[in-house]
Amino acid sequence: MTDLGTLATEPLFGLPLPALWFALLFAMLGTFLFLDGFDFGAGALFGVREDETERETVLAAIGPFWDGNEVWLVVFGGALFAAFPSVYADLFSRHYLLMFGILGALILRGLAPEMYEQRHDAAWQRWWGRAFVAGSVLAPFLLGAFVGNWLAGTERSFTLVGIVVGLAVTALTVVSGTAFLRVKTTGEFHDALGAYGLPAVVGYLLAVVASLGALWVTVPGLRAALVSVPVLALVGLSVLLAAGYVLALRRDHDLLALVASAALTYGLVAVVALALYPAVDPVTGATVQSAIVSTLPLNLMSVGAALLLPLIASYFVVLYSAFSGPAQPTEGY
Amino acid sequence: MVDPVIASRLQFAVTTIVHIIFPVMSMGLAPFLVYFTWKDIRTDEPRYEQLRRFWTKIFAVSFVVGTVTGIVLEFEFGTNFAAFSTTAGELFGGPLAIEGMMAFMLEATFLGVFVFGRERVSDALYFVSSVAVGLGTWLSAVWILIANSWMQTPRGYELATENGQPIVHLVDPVAAYFTPRFTYMYVHMQNSAVLSVSLFMAGVAAYYVFRHHVWGYSVANVGFWEATLKIALVALLVTAPLQVVHGDQYAQHVYETQPQKFAAMEAVWDTERYVPEYIVAFPTSPDQLTDPRAKELFGLGIPGGASWLASGGDPNAEIRGLNEFDTEPPPVAIVFWSFRAMVGLGFWFILLAFWGGYRWWRGQLLEDDLLHKALMGSSLLGIVAVELGWIVTEVGRQPWVIQGVMKTSEGVSPGLTGAEATVTLAGFVLVYTTLLGLYTYVVARIIRAGPPGGEDLRTVPDDRPDPSTPPAEVPADD
C-alpha cells in the first residue's frame, strides 16, 4: 500500500500541530462570528427599521455574502470533528438541546430572507420579516451561550454565564452589523444607522464585564486565567477598540469601524481560547494534547488546510470586491 | 418517550431523506447551468439568458434549503451519534472538514457572484463562477461519499481500544478514502442527480407544451418550454441507460462486499444456488409482511436471475442466506421492495427516454399527449428513485453503522435521554415537513411565473392554426 510512513511518524516540519489546530479552530470560530455576525446584526437592525426601502436594502446588502459567511460554521464544526473528535462528540451531545436551538435559529435566519423575497404582500412579508429578526437575534445569543458553557465547563444547557456571554455576542453582532450596513448604504439610511453604534458597543462592553464577573463567581478554577496578563491586555484593548469604533462611525470612516468590530470579535474569541488552554473541554478534562487526533490524519488535515485556506481567502476577495460599494434595494436575481 | 436509539435513528432518517432532495437538485442542475451560462455569454440569444435565469432561481432556493438542512446533518453526528463520532472521528471527521473547506466554501462564495453578479463582473468571471458553483456541488458529493463508502466497506484502518472505547486509527489514507465502493457510489449518485433533474425539467416543460399544443391554450414563452423539453430529453437519453449499466455493476460489488445487504435485497434466507430474481413476491399471511419470501404465497421470478446478476453472468452462483450471519438481518421487506421499486423506475426512465427520443426524431414530440402526460407524471420520480436507492444503501447495511466494526445501536450518544431525543424528533418532523412544503410552494410559484421576460422570445413564428380560441391563459407574472 501507499507509503505515508514519514507523514505518520512525526508532526509536519516539527510544528506543534495540536496547539496550532486549537488556535486555528478558534480563528475559524472568530471568522464565523465576525462574518456571519454582521449578517446577524443586519438582521437585528432590519427589525428596528420599518421603512420598506431600507429593509430591502438590508437584504440586498447581505444577499450575496451570507451563504459564504455561514459556511465558516460548517468549517469550524468539521475541523473540530476532524482534529478533536471526542471533544466534538462530548461537547455537542452534552449541549444537545442548545445545539438544536442554534440549528433551528440558523434555519429561520437562512430561510426567511429567501421567503421574504418570494412574495410582495404585507402579511407574508411581516411574518417572514419577524422570522428573519428572530433567527438573527437567537442564533448569536444561543451560540454565545454555547461558547460560555463550553468555557465554564458546565454540563447544563442554560446557565448565568451562558446567558451573559450570549448577550455579549448578540450585542457584538449589532456592533459589526451597524458598521457593515454603514459601508453598504448612503444618504438618510446611512446617517440614521450611525445612532446604533454607541449603544451597541456600550452594551457589548457591559455584557463582557458581566460575563467576566459571572465566570469569576461561578467558576473558581478560571480565576487565575481571568487575571492573566494576556486576558487583561485583551480586555483593555477591547475598550480602546470600542472607543475607536465609535469615533470612526462619527467621522464616517465606516470601513475602519468594521475593522474595529472584527478586531473586537477576534479579541473575544481569543479570550475564550486563552482561558481554556491547555484544556479543550473542562468537563472531561480533555487537553489539547490528550484529545488531538493521531499524527497521520492530523498531518493530512494540516496539508489540506494549508492548501485550501489561502484559496478560500481568495474566493472571499473575489466575492467582496465584486459587490463592493453601496447596495441597491432593487438588486437581486 | 421513544427509546433514544430509535429516536436518533428516525431523526437521522428524516433529516437525510429530506436533505438529499436539495443536493440532488443542485448537483443535477449544475451542469445545465454551466451550459446555459456558456451559451448565454457566447451566443447572446435571449433564450439562453431565460434558461439561465429561470433555472438559477430554482438552484438558489434549493441551495438555501440544502444548506440549512445540511448543517443540521453535520452537527447530528455529534449530538446524536457521539459514540460513533468518537470511535470513527479520525477517519470520518477529516472528509467532512475537507468537504467544508474544499467544496462547500467554493460553492457558497461563488453562488453569491453567480446569483447576484451578472451585471457586476466580467463575462469570463461570471462563467468561472458558474463552473465554480457546479464544481463545488460535485466535490461536496466526493467527500460525503468518501465518508459514507468507508462506513460501508471500511479499510485502511486499525482498531484499538482507548479508555474502554474502540477507536479507529487511520493507517492507509489512500485505501481508506478511495475504496472501490466510492467509485460505484459516486458515479451512480451523480448520474442519478442529473437524471432526476432531467426528468423534473422534462415534466415541467411537458406541462406547458401540453397546454399549448394539445389543449390549445396560448402559453406565454412556449418556445422556452419547448427548448427546455428538448434539452432535458437529450440529458435523459444519456443518463437513463447509464444508470442501469453502472447500477448493475454496483449491485455485483455489493454482493461481493456486503453479502448480508445483498441477501436482504433479494430476501434470501438460506444459502442457495440458482436463485431466481423475484419481480414480486408475497407471503402467505399478513404476519409475515415484513418478509416478502417467508412462506411464499405468490412469487414471480426469473429462474437463476439473482445469481446471474450477482455474479455477472453465472446463473448457478451461490447467494449466502441471511440465516448464515451472526447479526440480525436488516428489515428485509423495506430493502427488498425499495430495491425493486428503484430498479423498476430505472427501466421506466429508459423507456421514457427512448419514447421521447423516437417521437422527436419523427417530428411528433410536441403533439404526443400521452408522452406529455407520462413525462408530467414522472417529473418527481427521479427523486423518488434516489430516495429508494439510499434506503437500500442505508437500511440494507443495518445493523452496522460501520460494516463489521460498530453497530448503529452502539454509536448513539451515551448520555442522550429518551425525552431529549423525542422532543427533537418531534421538532424535526414538524420543521422538516414545513421546509419541504415551503420549498415545494416556492418552486411551484417560480414555475407558474415562468421565465423572466414577459413575452415569448421565440424567433420562429408559430405556423399552426391560432390556438387562442379557448380562454387565453397567461401565467400570472407578479
Best probe of the B interface among A88, A184, A280, by most B CBs < 10 A, is: A88
User: Given CB atoms, is B52 within the 8 Å cutoff of chain A?
Assistant: no
Name the helix (H) or strand (E) containing B278: strand B277-283
Q: List CB contacts (< 8 A) between A280 and chain B.
A: none
Return the C-alpha cell found at B356.
Answer: 421521447
Task: Work out the pLDDT band at B98, boundaries 50, 70, 90.
Answer: very high
* B160 burial via Cβ count (<10 Å: 0-12, 13-18, 19+): exposed
Q: Helix A17-48 and helix A254-276: axis angle, to 10°?
A: 130
pLDDT of residue B281: 74
Only one residue has cell 510512513, namely: A5
Q: Do A333 and B53 touch (CB under 8 A)?
A: yes
Q: What type of residue sits at position B349?
A: F
Of B168-172, B276-280, B296-300, which has the strongest mean pLDDT? Answer: B168-172
pLDDT of residue A6: 57
Q: Do B89 and A86 touch (CB under 8 A)?
A: yes
The set of residues, in sequence order, having a beta carbon less than 8 Å from that of B293 and lying 6+ positions away, is B267, B268, B269, B278, B281, B283, B299, B336
Mean pLDDT of B151-173: 89
Nearest-neighbour CA in chain A from B360: distance (Å)? 34
Task: Say how many CB pairs under 8 Å bridge A and B.
Answer: 235
Q: Do A93 and B413 touch (CB under 8 A)?
A: yes
pLDDT of residue B112: 92
Residue A333 has its nearest CB partner, among B60, B68, B90, at: B60
Q: Considering the entire predicted model, what is its pTM?
A: 0.89
Nearest-neighbour CA in chain B from A92: distance (Å)? 5
DSSP three-state, residue B436: helix
Does residue B82 form part of some domain? no
Which residue segments constitute the domains of chain A, with CATH numbers given?
Answer: 15-278+287-304 (1.20.1630)
Does residue B250 form part of some domain? yes
Return the C-alpha cell found at B429.
Answer: 418532523
Rounded Cα gap, residues A173 and A142, in angstroms: 13
Mean pLDDT of B316-332: 87
pLDDT beyond 90 at B456: no
Nearest-neighbour CA in chain B from A234: distance (Å)? 29
Q: Do A296 and B423 touch (CB under 8 A)?
A: no
Residues 32-91 of chain A whose Cβ lies under 8 A from any Cβ of chain B: 63-65, 67-68, 70-71, 73-75, 77-79, 81-83, 85-86, 88-91
Nearest-neighbour CA in chain A from B239: distance (Å)? 30
For residue range A235-256, list pLDDT tens digits in order.
999 999 999 999 999 999 999 9
Does residue B165 form part of some domain? no
Q: Which parts of chain A are beta strand (E)?
A: 279-281, 286-287
Q: What type of residue sits at position B373?
A: K
Only one residue has cell 447500477, namely: B247
Q: List CB contacts (< 8 A) between B50 and chain A.
A: none
Mean pLDDT of B288-301: 65
Does residue B226 form part of some domain? yes
Residues 186-225 of chain A whose Cβ lies under 8 A from any Cβ of chain B: none
Q: What type of residue sits at position A292?
A: I
Instruction: Identify whether the C-beta of residue A141 lies closer than 8 Å to the C-beta of residue A169.
Output: yes
Q: Do B94 and A315 touch (CB under 8 A)?
A: no
The set of residues, in sequence order, having a beta carbon less than 8 Å from that of B1 and lying 6+ positions away, is B417, B418, B419, B422
Nearest-neighbour CA in chain B from A51: distance (Å)? 22
**Rounded alpha-carbon distances, angstroms, from residue A68 to A107, A319, B174, B444:** 15, 9, 30, 27
Tell me how many degrees the CA angle B348-B149-B23 measures, rounded to the nearest 5: 55
Mean pLDDT of B76-93: 90
Q: What type of residue sits at position B238?
A: V
Rounded Cα gap, residues B316 and B335, in angstroms: 23
Q: Do B105 and A75 touch (CB under 8 A)?
A: yes
Rounded Cα gap, residues B309 and B339, in angstroms: 14
Only one residue has cell 470579535, namely: A265
Q: Looking at per-residue confidence, does B82 or B298 come out higher?
A: B82
Whether omega before A64 lies within 30 degrees of 0, making that bond cis, reads no
Mean pLDDT of B97-104: 92
pLDDT of residue B164: 82
Mean pLDDT of B47-76: 90
The conformational region for residue B304 under phi > 0 = left, psi -120 to 50 = alpha, else beta, is: left
Rounded Cα gap, residues A141 and A173, in angstroms: 10
Query: Whose CA is closest to B63, among B39, B97, B93, B33?
Result: B33
Mean pLDDT of A139-144: 96
pLDDT of residue B471: 47
Task: Work out the pLDDT band at B297, boundaries 50, 70, 90.
Answer: low
Query: Whose CA is closest to A290, among A50, A18, A32?
Result: A18
Q: Do B71 and A89 touch (CB under 8 A)?
A: no
Rounded Cα gap, residues A251 and A253, in angstroms: 6
pLDDT beyond 80 at B293: no
pLDDT of residue B291: 65
Range of the domain at B396: 194-412
Does residue B429 form part of some domain? no
Mean pLDDT of A114-128: 89
Does residue B249 form part of some domain? yes
Residue B89 has its nearest CB partner, among A2, A88, A110, at: A88
Q: List CB contacts (< 8 A) between A298 and chain B.
A: none
For residue range B372-386, list pLDDT tens digits in order.
999 999 999 999 999
Cα B18 to chain centroid, rounded? 11
Q: Do B97 and A78 touch (CB under 8 A)?
A: yes
User: Given CB atoms, is B105 within the 8 Å cutoff of chain A?
Assistant: yes
Does residue B349 form part of some domain? yes
User: Given CB atoms, is A106 within the 8 Å cutoff of chain B?
Assistant: yes
Query: Whose CA is closest to B73, among B7, B28, B17?
Result: B17
Tell me how many degrees the CA angle B164-B170-B171 measures, rounded to the nearest 5: 120
Q: Do B79 and A1 touch (CB under 8 A)?
A: no
Rounded Cα gap, residues B25 and B59, in angstroms: 7
pLDDT of residue B460: 41
Per the structure, the count of domains in chain B is 1
Name the helix (H) or strand (E) containing B300: strand B296-302
For residue range B163-188, list pLDDT tens digits in order.
888 899 998 999 999 999 999 999 99
Residues 266-305 of chain A whose Cβ lies under 8 A from any Cβ of chain B: 293-294, 296-297, 300-301, 304-305
Q: Do B174 and A67 touch (CB under 8 A)?
A: no
pLDDT of residue B458: 46
Rounded Cα gap, residues B70 and B76, in angstroms: 10
CA atoms within 13 A on the CB side of A266: 12
User: Given CB atoms, is B471 within the 8 Å cutoff of chain A?
Assistant: no
**Rounded alpha-carbon distances, angstroms, from residue B280 to B228, B275, B298, B341:** 37, 14, 8, 10
Q: What type of residue sits at position B153?
A: T
Does residue B35 form part of some domain? no
Task: Work out the pLDDT band at A306, boundaries 50, 70, 90.
Answer: very high
User: Given CB atoms, is B14 within the 8 Å cutoff of chain A?
Assistant: no
For residue range B215-255, list pLDDT tens digits in order.
888 888 888 899 999 999 999 999 999 999 999 899 989 99
Q: How many Cβ atoms sit within 10 Å of the Cβ of residue A19?
A: 14
User: Given CB atoms, is B22 within the 8 Å cutoff of chain A?
Assistant: no
Query: Whose CA is closest to A308, among A71, A10, A87?
Result: A71
Return the C-alpha cell found at A6.
Answer: 514519514
Name the helix (H) or strand (E) containing B160: strand B157-162
**% of residues, chain A, pLDDT over 70:** 97
Q: What type of residue sits at position B281?
A: A
Rounded Cα gap, residues B362 and B393, in angstroms: 40
Nearest-neighbour CA in chain B from A299: distance (Å)? 11
**Rounded alpha-carbon distances, angstroms, from residue B450 to B33, B55, B133, B224:** 17, 10, 24, 9
ipTM of predicted assembly, 2 dp: 0.91
Task: Work out the pLDDT band at B296, boundaries 50, 70, 90.
Answer: low
- Which string of DSSP letters, residue by residue, matches A157-216? SS-HHHHHHHHHHHHHHHHHHHHHHHHT--HHHHHHHHHHHHHHHHHHHHHHHHHHHHHH
pLDDT of residue B383: 96
